[in-house]
């Protein structure tokens, strides 16, 4: 029992001090559970067509949130869309974080790599995320894997610049200089002293970049360059509603609401984590 209390005490403390962030975390947890258990939670197959029930309004028998123009259940497609959106965003941000943090630390530690690496990051950051993603999709083609690659490539510089600045400040600390004087290898210093001391801001960065990745993935699907049909994805659902939205506004309202809620959840959770993990902000409160 004491072990359980010790594990949950930081979470309860965080929730008590950051009520809005706790709400965001609850929303994110809800969507994560929805995506993981989509098969068990969805009322029907999200791709099952029922022409007889085309554009059925919310509350129709068997269609709690209505049906689209092909008679597919909106609720089931939103549930499976949560899985697709969270999978794309989490994998893309994870890849970007792994590569970007590595490049940032390397550029900070080895001065001869600083110029080439950071100038390349500046070039990538000079373009809007959707433009970078569109260019990569145009080269690689449509598909979930290519959407992940496109988002990851855009977000690598954001991790690299953050890790680079943090690593530059950490390597000037006395304990790092002592490790260098003691003859420890570069790999040991970077993994034992530098990386653990920059991990908290990196976690915050992950929570703040995931909603951006969700929006880019939805935007690509909205313009027909993202996840190919008939896969249930929120951006593709919104794109389809452009044609049928006046006759069936529920095709726009419910996918848009799901997208808005998950982005809101991640944003306020990220803000709360930043306030909780940044000692400078804690000192002001």
Residue 218 lies in a domain: yes
Residues 6 or more apart whose CB falls under 8 angstroms from that of 281 comprise 274, 275
Query: Roughly how many angstroms between the first and final C-alpha of the chain, as a whole number?
Result: 32
Residue 174 lies in a domain: yes
User: Phi, psi at residue 126, to the nearest 5°?
Assistant: -70, -15
How many domains is the chain built from? 1
Asked if the model's pLDDT at residue 163 lies above 80, the reply is yes
User: Could you tell me the pLDDT band of residue 151, with boundaries at 50, 70 and 90?
Assistant: very high
Q: Given a cut of 70, is residue 205 above it in pLDDT?
A: yes
37 part of a folded domain: no
Which pLDDT score is estimated for 251?
93
- Does the pLDDT at position 277 exceed 80? no
31's tokens: 């969507």
Calculated CA dihedral for residues 145, 34, 68, 244, nearest 10 degrees: -70
**21 Cβ partners below 8 Å, 6+ apart?**
14, 15, 268, 269, 271, 272, 273, 275, 276
Residue 4 lies in a domain: no
* Residue 17 is assigned to a structural domain of this protein: no
Average pLDDT over residues 151-164: 93
User: Mean pLDDT, the chain, as a whole number?
Assistant: 86
| CB 74 within 8 Å of CB 22 | no
Which pLDDT score is estimated for 22? Answer: 86
Sequence-separated (6 or more) residues with CB below 8 Å from residue 261: 27, 31
CATH number at residue 157: 1.10.3720.10
Residue 20 lies in a domain: no
* Rg for the chain, CA atoms, rounded: 22
The yes-or-no verdict on residue 43 having pLDDT over 70 is yes
* 153 or 20: which leads in pLDDT: 153
Residue closest to 248 by CA, chosen among 39, 96, 70, 85 = 70
Q: DSSP letter string over 147-176?
A: HHHHHHHHHHHHHHHHHHHHHHHHTTSHHH
Domain contains 172? yes
Span of 96-110, 120-134, 246-260 with lowest mean pLDDT: 120-134
What's residue 188's pLDDT?
86
- Contact 226/236 with Cβ under 8 angstroms? yes
The answer to whether 140 and 81 are in contact (CB under 8 A) is: no
| pLDDT for residue 283 | 44
Question: How far apart are the C-alpha atoms of 267 and 207, rounded to whole Å?
Answer: 7
Residue 60 has pLDDT above 60, yes or no: yes
Kindly state the average pLDDT of the residues 71-99: 94
The answer to the question of residue 43 being in a domain is no
At which residue do the structure tokens 């804690």 appear?
282
Nearest to 63 by CA among 50, 78, 75: 75
pLDDT in tens, 111-121: 889 889 999 99
State percent of the chain over pLDDT 90. Answer: 47
**Do 232 and 82 contact (CB within 8 A), yes or no?**
no
CA separation for the pair 213, 93 (Å, rounded)? 7
| pLDDT of 8 over the 80 cut | no
Tokens of residue 207, six digits: 């929570």
Range of the domain at 155: 72-277
């Amino acid at each position: 029992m004491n072990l359980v209390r010790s594990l949950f005490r930081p979470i309860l403390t965080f929730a008590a001090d950051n009520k809005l962030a706790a709400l965001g975390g609850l929303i994110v947890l809800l969507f994560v559970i929805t995506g993981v258990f989509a098969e068990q939670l969805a009322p029907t197959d999200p791709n099952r067509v029922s022409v007889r029930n085309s554009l059925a309004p919310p509350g129709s028998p068997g269609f709690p949130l209505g049906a689209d123009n092909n008679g597919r259940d909106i609720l089931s497609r939103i549930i499976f869309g949560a899985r697709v959106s969270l999978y794309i965003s989490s994998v893309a941000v994870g890849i970007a974080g792994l590569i970007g943090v590595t490049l940032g630390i390397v550029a900070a530690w080895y001065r001869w790599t600083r110029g080439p690496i950071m100038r390349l990051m500046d070039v990538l950051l000079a373009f809007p995320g959707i433009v970078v993603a569109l260019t990569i999709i145009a080269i690689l083609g449509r598909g979930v894997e290519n959407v992940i690659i496109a988002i990851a490539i855009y977000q690598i510089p954001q991790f690299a610049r953050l890790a680079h600045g943090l690593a530059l400040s950490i390597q000037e600390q006395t304990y790092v200089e002592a490790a260098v004087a003691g003859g420890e290898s570069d790999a040991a210093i970077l993994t034992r002293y530098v990386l653990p001391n920059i991990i908290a801001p990196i976690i915050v960065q992950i929570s703040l970049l995931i909603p951006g990745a969700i929006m880019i993935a939805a935007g690509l699907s909205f313009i027909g360059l993202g996840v190919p049909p008939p896969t249930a994805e929120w951006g593709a659902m919104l794109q389809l509603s452009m044609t049928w939205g006046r006759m069936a506004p529920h095709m726009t309202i419910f996918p848009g609401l799901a997208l808005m809620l998950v982005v809101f959840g991640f944003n306020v959770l990220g803000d709360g984590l930043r306030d909780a993990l940044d000692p400078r902000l804690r000192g002001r409160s």
